[in-house]
Amino acid sequence: MRLGERGEGYVVGQFALLGLLVLALWVTPSFSPPWLGGLGRGLAWVGLGVLLLAAWQLGRNLTALPKPRPGGYLVQQGLYRVVRHPIYCGVLLWALGSSLAHLNLWTLLLCGLLFVWLDRKASLEETWLQERFPGYSAYRQRVKKLIPWVY
């Protein structure tokens, strides 16, 4: 399922889920014990750092859309040498950390939905990357997924 010519629907859904998660973090009660709140905040900061570093390493290739930019190139250095889709990893680490820091059913549910949504988006992106870059198959064999059963 493409949800648009370049995957625009995935971007809309991603930002809608992130917006709902931020809203839930703001308006719902937290049931997180202090030790879990601290751990969650730390994980959220790590996720934010991973997200920003990965975005910086993409440079002019950065796009919210799953379809690669025209004229772009395959980034294989930095975080991209270690894991595919590190921006998604950073977003998910932030979401999980924030959900643990502000523990309740809504934050955990939205975090889970975001995980599934980004998994589907990454799967589509994998297809387009393989079509676009001849070296992507070798890169895909060399570089591991963050979570083995995903995409």
Residue 101 has a pLDDT of 96
Q: Examine residue 147 and state whether it is found in any structural domain, yes or no.
A: no
Residue 5 has a pLDDT of 87
For residue 28, what are the CA distances in angstroms to 10, 13, 75, 107, 146?
Answer: 26, 21, 39, 9, 30
Q: Examine residue 148 and state whether it is found in any structural domain, yes or no.
A: no
3-state secondary structure of 83: strand
* 68 secondary structure, DSSP code: P
- Residue pLDDT tens, the chain, 151 long: 667 889 999 999 999 999 999 999 999 999 999 999 999 999 999 999 999 999 999 999 999 999 999 999 999 999 999 999 999 999 999 999 999 999 999 999 999 999 999 999 999 999 999 999 999 999 998 887 766 555 5
Q: Examine residue 2 and state whether it is found in any structural domain, yes or no.
A: no
28-38, pLDDT tens digit by residue? 999 999 999 99
Q: Examine residue 136 and state whether it is found in any structural domain, yes or no.
A: yes
Q: Examine residue 3 and state whether it is found in any structural domain, yes or no.
A: no
Q: Examine residue 65 and state whether it is found in any structural domain, yes or no.
A: yes
What's the CATH number where 83 sits?
Answer: 1.20.120.1630
Q: Examine residue 126 and state whether it is found in any structural domain, yes or no.
A: yes
Number of independent structural domains in the chain: 1
Q: Examine residue 124 and state whether it is found in any structural domain, yes or no.
A: yes
Q: Residue 88 sits in which domain range?
A: 8-142
Residue 151 makes CB contacts below 8 A (sequence gap 6+) with 119, 122, 123, 126, 145
